[in-house]
Copies of this chain bind each other. A is one copy, B any other.
Amino acid sequence: MQVVAFDRSRNAAQQAHALLREWILTGKLRPGEGISEPSMATMLGISRTPVREVFKRLEAEGLVEIYPQIGTIIAPIDPNKVRDAQFVRETLEVRTIGLAALLGSSDQHRALKDILVRQKALVKARDVHGFMDADDALHEQLSVMAGHSFSWQVIAAAKAQLDRVRHLSLSDPSWLAMIYDEHCTIAEAVIARNEKRARAAMEVHQRSIFSAVERLTQQDPLLVKAVEQAGVPSLLFPAAKETKRGKRS
């Protein structure tokens, strides 16, 4: 029960959301693990209200599942949900990259290159966290270039599901280099204003996730929601810590 220090002068709920989201995406909180509002509140050094707000938001993002009067768990990997997230992201980003290739200005091309330079350094430093931030920045920049900056929010929500699977499936950060290479290919095509090649490169980039779910299903089946099993939450609390259930006073 480690207490995390927060900046009291800034919004507690936002900070807590960013933190928990990162913990879930990076696997520090594992699928199926039980969490609760009071325990998380004391852990973060805040009250239940902002924690509750964060839980609701994470539920909307598909990262936790709340069972009223029972408990809350980190959402297990649902292959169907991942498939659909992949569908949403690929569909939007492939069309986005086409527009970005057609509409991007040379200023925006420079911004793209800057991000890639930053990413190159982060790959070398094995900084997974920083790389994922830069990854988001790059894809957001592409949405801006396509003239649909708001659609990035939709893409980001879908991307979170996929990033989580990738992180759980591949603990070794060797995939950073591969993604960086794909980014370079995409950026080249965009800067060359070659719509067709950009779309093809983006498709390759997107499809590289496919195998991760299967790998995860094999190496750690407990994290994956069985297709027929509707949901038996009580069976998914293996990480119940110092519980005091049943102990008479």
Contact = CB atoms under 8 A, between A and B. Distances in A.
A84 B150 contact: yes
Given A56-B53, A56-B57, A60-B57, A92 B88 contact: yes
B84 A151 contact: yes
Interface string A80-102: 11011101100110010000000
A196 interface: no
Nearest to A56: B53
Q: Determine chain A's interface SS by DSSP, over half rule.
A: helix
Q: What number of copies of this chain does the assembly contain?
A: 2
A208 interface: no
Interface residues of A, number: 25
Nearest to A158: B154
A95 B91 contact: yes
Contacts of A68: 11
A227 to B, nearest CB: 13
Interface of A: 11, 49, 52-53, 56-57, 60, 68, 80-81, 83-85, 87-88, 91-92, 95, 148-151, 154, 157-158
14 contacts: A52-B53, A53-B53, A56-B56, A60-B60, A80-B150, A81-B150, A83-B148, A84-B151, A85-B150, A87-B151, A88-B148, A91-B92, A154-B154, A154-B158
